[in-house]
Amino acid sequence: MPRHEREQQIIDVAVRVFAKRGYHAASVDEIAELAGISKPMVYLYLDSKEGLFLACLRREAERLVAAFQVAARDAGPAPELRLHAGLSAFFAFVAEHRDSWVVLHRQASELSEVIAGAVAEARRAVMAEVASLIGDGIRDGLADGIRSAQLGDEDADFVAHALVGAADSLTDWMESHPDQSPEGITLRLMNMVWVGMRDVLAGEVWLP
């Protein structure tokens, strides 16, 4: 088997084992056995248990970012449609690849600085995509030609952080509400964020 295919096979198994047992309890012996190879071969391909976990983390993060990018790109020119498509792809990825999300969302932040850095890098990639779409929406007035000189790049960055944080949190909510579809969750989040931003651009601002 070519090296790349073998590595992907090992990572496929490792994602399942890490998600099921957690990083510390996961055994390279078990991963090797389930992959049908020897333990030394796992180390030959991926260097160490941490190296194996990092490979899992980076591959699944790349898949998530790619799903968001492709969906947003194919949704057309309107920023709100691209953001909706990207968020829908995000929640669908979480629903369809629960093991991947457990590794990305729950375990990685509790481990070494190297792993935490890889998580932060993946998060920045998602954040950049969301901020770009929010920024396009602000520049386009969000809807119906509304314009405002009061909102700019910093506002787009602020909303992107809030939106990504909300999406992260909602993945846990999804698990406890299995009857809720990714599309339904996306629509509810879009209505809270996009409609709210449109009201701000139209001049409606809440003050205590």
In percent, the amount of the chain with pLDDT more than 70 equals: 89
Residue 65 resides in a domain: yes
- Residue 115, Ramachandran bin (φ over 0: left; ψ between -120 and 50: alpha; else beta): alpha
9-57 pLDDT, tens digit per residue, is 999 999 999 988 888 889 999 999 999 999 999 999 998 998 999 899 8
Q: How far is CA 194 from CA 32, 132, 163, in A?
A: 47, 14, 10
What pLDDT does 142 receive?
A: 53
Count of domains in the chain?
1
Task: Find out whether 9 and 1 touch, Cβ atoms under 8 Å.
Answer: yes
DSSP-derived secondary structure letter, 48? S
What pLDDT does 110 receive?
A: 66
Residue 24 resides in a domain: no
Residue 86 resides in a domain: yes
What pLDDT does 149 receive?
A: 45
What pLDDT does 128 receive?
A: 81
Task: Find out whether 57 and 115 touch, Cβ atoms under 8 Å.
Answer: yes
Separation of alpha carbons 127 and 44, rounded Å: 34
> Among positive and negative, which fits the CA dihedral 83, 127, 73, 141?
positive
Q: Which residue has the tokens 């909706």?
A: 84
What pLDDT does 139 receive?
A: 66
Dihedral through CA 117, CA 122, CA 128, CA 129, nearest 10? 180
The residue range of the domain holding 76 is: 58-201
Residue 116 resides in a domain: yes
Residue 159 resides in a domain: yes
Residue 33 resides in a domain: no
Residue 25 resides in a domain: no
What is the pTM for the complete model shown?
0.80
Q: Which residue has the higher pLDDT, 112 or 152?
A: 112
Separation of alpha carbons 20 and 12, rounded Å: 13
Identify which of 103-112, 114-123, 147-156 has the greatest average pLDDT: 114-123
Separation of alpha carbons 35 and 141, rounded Å: 52
Q: Which residue has the higher pLDDT, 72 or 205?
A: 72
Residue 94 resides in a domain: yes
Q: Which residues contact 145 (CB under 8 A, 6 or more apart)?
A: none
CATH label of the domain that carries residue 177 = 1.10.357.10
**Residue 143 — pLDDT band, cuts 50, 70, 90?**
very low
